[in-house]
Amino acid sequence: MASNSSGGSSSSCDRQRIAQQRLRIISGHLQTPVDGEPAVLAAECKAQGSEADVSTEEKTVPRRRQEIMKWNGWGYSDSKFLFNKKGQAEFTGKRYRLSGMIIPGLKDWFEGTFGASLQHKTPATPILNSSAVKPPTLNEAFLDELKSTGIPFSHDAEDRVFRAHGHCLHEIFALREGKVGRIPDMVVWPNCHNDVVKIVELACKHNVCLIPYGGGTSVSSALECPPEETRSIVSLDTSQMNRILWIDEKNLTAHVEAGIVGQDLERLLNESGYCTGHEPDSMEFSSLGGWVATRASGMKKNIYGNIEDLVVHIKMVTPRGVIEKGCQGPRMSTGPDVHHFIMGSEGTLGVVTEVTMKIRPMPEYQKYGSVVFPNFEQGVACLREVAKQRCAPASIRLMDNEQFKFGHALKPQVSSLFTSFLDGLKTFYITKFKGFDPNHLCVATLLFEGNREKVLQHEKQVYDIAAKFGGLAAGEDNGQRGYMLTFVIAYLRDLGMDYYVIGESFETSVPWDRVLDICRNVKARIVGECKERGVQFAPLSTCRVTQTYDAGACVYFYFAFNYRGLSDPVHVYEQVEHAAREEILANGGSLSHHHGVGKLRKEWMRETVSSVGMGMIKSVKDYVDPNNIFGNRNLL
């Protein structure tokens, strides 16, 4: 066990004794299959040495992530927005539907919205200067014992820097300038649960600080190393724990290692005819363990649920030992749910190693759609009615007018004159014939999934409701394009920073009767704060409603501004974001819907969960991790 106390050893013995007793009881019920092969195959842990991985198996996330991903920006190295020599925007690479396409409207929108100029460029530092990285502070006793386990590790500068950050604006801005602060002293790659147990045991023994690292997509400063930490910091990278250990087709569950990223999880399940349906915007790179640790939400939660609805069983290694429930029943009445101590713990208590999740057969039919409303107010009223009647499609997202214009600017060049003519005809019909004001209209994108007949019935029900609020069906293409943009929109921030534009997104959840107020007031607060703090050009301040519930909705805000003329643009940005968060809380919004707290938002935790609530969280931390081995200092 990962504990030096007798309590840890005792709990381990108790679990083994109980497991053996239960095996004896059920052994009489097991039947040998006719072909003599075992009915269940357990995947073994194959720990590898600290040398480079020689496996020929292709992994989405290799140990050296910097070989395929940007070290100071979002996503894959071969994929990015740029303005070519003709001044046209294009998206490079071959990974996305938008890849290789010209986006004719982006330049005019970009320059017109931000007052930016393609003549004023701020390129990023292309290569990490390893000599600027401080040498690692290694705990030699820990390192010596780690070597004997055969678990791979590295203290290479590039490996360490890559795992020292998430994707907050201040983190990426600093890296683009080649600035590196406190970073992990070592990276370690466990291959299975047992490897994690060994690592945590050694960390406890030698007083080493561990920071779990999954997909690295955090936007809450959760992965930043505390500058005041004097112990050796080890980044525990779970990416090589990426297997589906078993699929139970009778109970529709899958037992999965927590380091797997979303795109791999869905791909592997799809090969067997199943899916989880959990699709956060970051699903390409975010990990299952990260979803659990932050209480994640996906765009199709209306059908499949949020992560707390999908999880059946969790295994987590802590300094006190392993936490897991004694069975995989769908629900228990056994006191406070220990899963809810784990979910949202943000790496402060231990490492999630394995998760049993609900799975579903892949939907036989999928259909996109979109609805245009005369204004945002009527769009919100429609979403409220859809939620009230509990007939929301897999996904329904409402963009305000500014975001609609932004989405329109990202429309790729069409090769067909007929398609261009049809687009113009639709615009004429909506704006001239129906009288929608282009400066007020907004659009909802829809995704329906399931049995074909039921999908078509469901679609009619939603469009009938939309019509009562002035909504007009705007076609499948707009809906599909909206969801396609989900996975490329994060690349746009890097383009902006190439031309003096910085921006970020943040989210909240709010009761239905406060949705319109919070959208209006937060956007206005952002504009006012930017003006007050010397931002010379009006900022982009926009929002969308992304998830709906019986009692409220999730609202996403985006803001960005041209920082030319500002001596410390990141400080100005942080002041504006801080004010926006204060405005959210004052208007009845939550601290976070699914991004989590990290270190970025923890100053508001006490007012969010109360002093007693904070005391409860701290008591759990003090019991499970009395020496603060998991010392990322998130939440508390």
Query: Which residues are designated catalytic?
Result: 556
Determine how β-strand 102-103 pairs with β-strand 89-91: antiparallel
Give yes or no for a contact between 581 and 505, defined as CB atoms under 8 angstroms apart.
no
Cβ neighbourhood burial of 414 (10 Å; 0-12, 13-18, 19+): middle
d(CA 224, CA 602): 14
Give yes or no for a contact between 562 and 183, defined as CB atoms under 8 angstroms apart.
no
CA-to-CA dists, residue 115 to 110, 334, 496, angstroms:
8, 59, 12
CB-facing half-sphere around the CA of 39: CA atoms within 13 A: 7
Q: SS3 breakdown of the chain: % helix, strand, coil, rounded to 5?
A: 40, 20, 45
d(CA 578, CA 559): 13
3-state secondary structure of 541: strand
CA-to-CA dists, residue 507 to 4, 290, 313, 594, angstroms:
41, 18, 28, 8
d(CA 352, CA 293): 8
Reference 613, options 595, 591, 632; nearest CA is 591
If you search the block for the tokens 């999954």, which residue do you land on?
A: 214
- Residue 458's contacts (CB-CB under 8 Å, 6 or more residues apart) are 391, 393, 448, 450
Q: Output the six-digit token pair for 253.
A: 């569950």
DSSP letters for 27-58: HTT----TTS--S--PPPP----SSPP---S-
CA angle 601, 407, 444 (to 5 degrees): 80
d(CA 407, CA 286): 24
CA 203 to chain centre: 28
d(CA 328, CA 130): 47
- The beta-carbon contacts of 64-70 under 8 Å, at least 24 apart in sequence, are 64/158, 64/159, 65/162, 65/216, 65/239, 66/158, 66/159, 66/162, 69/285, 70/494
Reference 184, options 158, 202, 207; nearest CA is 158
d(CA 469, CA 461): 13
d(CA 606, CA 290): 23
